[in-house]
Structures are given as structure tokens and as C-alpha cells.
Amino acid sequence: MNDAQESRASHGRVLVLGGTGKTGRRVAAGLAAKGLEVRIGSRAATPRFDWDDETSWDACLTDVDAVYITYAPDLAMPGATDAISAFVERAKRLGVRRLVILSGRGEPEAQACERIVQDSGLEWTVVRASWFYQNFSEGAFVDMVLEGRITLPAGDIAEPFVDVDDIAEVAIAALSEPGHGGELYEVTGPRLMTFADVASELTKATGRTIEFIQVPHDAFIDGVRETGAPQDVIWMLDYLFATVLDGRNAHLTDGVQRALGRPPKDFADYARDVAATGVW
């Protein structure tokens, strides 16, 4: 596909799966702001999209040029490769021309899903992300921040947390501009941080003491289970802290710089901006 063809492909309707989630709602808003027609893929949307109900896929994929693929809760979940394979085949059959998939660093199962997209014969871009800053303001750890105690089985392992706004901007570019086809953008923030570093930055941003408290892994998972969290969320947290957070991702990458021509946002700037909203 040449640049002219890429440009034409990018200006049709875009299906944003997980269009109400952390990255999806940002991607949808960014595409709409650029004048693209967006279809939200969620169980609450019309037409409805449900990963567990393949009969819902066709209506969402009809008359769509490009798709932003997110899989909840994570591509590492059992069954994700089967779902992604079936979805990609359906997308090809219905005339989709471009796929952008959000993936996770250090997850072999997620990389298997990436390969399905890369081998699809369609124009593709992979956005492979580290842990989100927004987990502390919109996700699993926000209540811990509010309580002043980030209680996790994380130890001294460093992670290059990344801003969801940066992830979304990379995806928007890949979905709406030429030049991103065939690219794997591994996106991180600009520095490695332990959870103790995160707590320190949040303390500075909020003006109140926020501690990191190391807890045993099994005790943490038992505590999550006691809150009544869904089984897939429990599985995902167990997997992330037992498997992925072992130092394998303790290095920086240049995905944001390559895709957008600028450095990624720092955690301190994120924390200051969020603190100003009153979320914490």
C-alpha cells in the first residue's frame, strides 16, 4: 500500500474496540476531533460489540476501514489468541484494511496475538505498552492512592510506566495518518520507576503522604479475591505481579519518540496534572 492509498484508507470509518475504556475513549475522541467517523465497540453501544459473542461482530465491522483492537482484560488471558484470530479473519472478510492493536510488554501470549495481526495480510501497527500511569488515577490502584497506602507485591522491580494519553496519541496517528504501517511501537515513559518511586512522586503532587507497602503475593491476591473482584481481574493481577513484573521490562524504549516525534510524558507531570483535577 502506498502513501496515497494509506491516506484514503485512513479517512473511512474507524471501529474503536473498548471505546469507553482507558485508551479507547481517548482514541475515539482524538479521531473524532480529526474529523473521522468513529464507531464505538462496546457491549453498551449500538451496534453492540462483545468479545464473547461472535454474532455481534459483523454489524460492528460492516463498512469499517480501520479497527483499533483492545482485548479486555488483557491479551495474555486464556482464549485471547483464538478470539483475535477469529476477529481478524472476520475483519478481512468484511473489507477492513487497517488494524492497530494495543498489546502488552513482556507477555508471550500478547506477542502471539500481535503475530496474528502481523500475518493478516492487512495494513497493521502494533502498540506494545508498559504499565499505565492511569492505573493510579482511573484503574486498579486509585483507591490505594486515596488511602495513602499503595499495598502491592511489587518489591524493588522498576517499570517504565507510560501515560495513556501518549498511547492514545500513537494509536490515533497509526489510524489516521500514512507512514505507520508495519511498525511495532513499543511505548514506555521516559524513566524507570519502582512503586516506591511512584509513591514518592504522588506524595509530591498531592501534598500528603502516600506510602508504598510491600506485601506477600498470595496475601495480596487473597485480598483482591475478598473484595469480590471478577475472576478475570484476579487472574490478571496474579499474572502481572507473579510473572511480568520480574525485571523483564526494566528498560526504556523509543516508541513514543518514533511515532510522534517527541519524548513521552513524565510521571511527575502526569501526577501534577491529575492532582490539579481533584481526583486524589
Q: What is the pLDDT of residue 135?
A: 95
Whether residue 276 lies inside any domain: the answer is: no
Q: What is the pLDDT of residue 1?
A: 41
What does 184-242 look like in DSSP terms, one character per residue?
Answer: EEEE--SS-B-HHHHHHHHHHHHSS--EEEE--HHHHHHHHHHTT--HHHHHHHHHIII
User: CB 273: neighbour CB atoms within 10 A?
Assistant: 15
Q: Give the range of the structural domain holding residue 260, as residue numbers without chain letter.
A: 3-132+162-190+250-265
Q: Return the closest-CA partner of residue 106 out of 130, 134, 82.
A: 130
Look at the chain and count its residues.
Answer: 280
- The whole-angstrom separation of Cα 193 and Cα 170 is 22
Whether residue 222 lies inside any domain: the answer is: no
Whether residue 178 lies inside any domain: the answer is: yes
Whether residue 217 lies inside any domain: the answer is: no
Q: What is the pLDDT of residue 149?
A: 97
Whether residue 102 lies inside any domain: the answer is: yes
pTM of the prediction? Answer: 0.93
pLDDT by residue, tens only, the chain of 280 residues: 444 344 444 458 999 999 999 999 999 999 999 999 999 999 999 999 999 999 999 999 999 999 999 998 899 999 999 999 999 999 999 999 999 999 999 999 999 999 999 999 999 999 999 999 999 999 889 999 999 999 999 989 999 999 999 999 999 999 999 999 999 999 999 999 999 999 999 999 999 999 999 999 999 999 999 989 889 889 989 999 998 999 999 999 999 999 999 999 999 999 999 999 999 9
CATH number at residue 63: 3.40.50.720
Q: What is the pLDDT of residue 199?
A: 98
Whether residue 156 lies inside any domain: the answer is: no
Q: What is the pLDDT of residue 56?
A: 98
| Residue in the block written with cell 495513556 | 164
Whether residue 210 lies inside any domain: the answer is: no
Question: Number of folded domains in the chain?
Answer: 1
